[in-house]
Amino acid sequence: MQLFISPGACSLAPHIALRETGADFEAVKVDLATRKTEAGDDFLAVNSSGKVPALILDNGETLTENPAILLYIADQNSSAGLAPAEGGRDRYQLLSRLSFLASEFHKAFVPLFAPATSDEAKADANVAVKNHLAALEKELTGRDHYAGETFSVADIYLFVMLGWPGHVGIDMSAYPALGAYAGKIAQRPAVGAALRAEGLA
């Protein structure tokens, strides 16, 4: 498999998941400004939206969108325990968390990362991110895991996004439960390995 990534972007989540499951894969870095890979190949030929992550499967098929990619990786090696089995209610709770992270939490950050965003829109986005952080702080207080009772791809995905507020000037010390939660996940060997591979450690 080939995973197309940009250091520190949401593609870090499937990168960590691949390392957690011990999958055989190659990480291919993409320059999101030029849409070229490190080797100079056109990333738009892989994903016409130009967004990472994209995963090329062993059969040559391309999979995009984090929730689908994360579940695919988890299901390829179910013994790693990163997602409950299909059909059970826990699976739907996991899907609910992944969908929230992709469609609500991630999207709240987008204006803060976009250079052309007006100050007014940035202020609104700042409030939206902080509201999500406050809700997550409540949800994670006294809990070690975001979905169910065990470590899952939802924890990996949330961990990656909890690394973003600091880059847009949001002080995470206001969210101590989230800080402790992310701190524990950061200690996992697969997380450290992915961060080092992306030049972030």
Ligand X SMILES: N[C@@H](CCC(=O)N[C@@H](CS)C(=O)NCC(=O)O)C(=O)O
Judged by the rule CB under 6 A, the positions of this chain that interact with ligand X are 9-10, 32, 50-53, 65-66, 102
Query: Which residue lies nearer to ligand X by CB, 66 or 126?
Result: 66
Task: Of 13, 2, 1, give the one whose Cα is nearest residue 198.
Answer: 13
* Smallest distance, ligand X to C-beta of residue 63, A: 10
* Smallest distance, ligand X to C-beta of residue 134, A: 22
Q: Which residues pair with 37 in a beta bridge?
A: 30
Query: Which residue lies nearer to ligand X by CB, 114 or 180?
Result: 114
Q: Are the beta carbons of 153 and 146 closer than 8 angstroms?
A: no
* Smallest distance, ligand X to C-beta of residue 149, A: 25
**Gyration radius (Cα) of the chain, Å:** 17
Q: Taking the mean position of all CA atoms in its chain, how far away is CA 95?
A: 14
Query: Which residue lies nearer to ligand X by CB, 107 or 143?
Result: 107
Total Cβ atoms within 10 A of residue 106? 17
Query: Which residue lies nearer to ligand X by CB, 75 or 177?
Result: 75
* Smallest distance, ligand X to C-beta of residue 40, A: 18
d(CA 5, CA 64): 12
Locate all alpha helices (DSSP H) within 24-175, ordered by sequence.
66-76, 89-100, 106-113, 119-140, 153-162
Query: Which residue lies nearer to ligand X by CB, 46 or 133?
Result: 46
Task: Of 195, 182, 108, give the one whose Cα is nearest residue 151.
Answer: 182
* Smallest distance, ligand X to C-beta of residue 20, A: 18
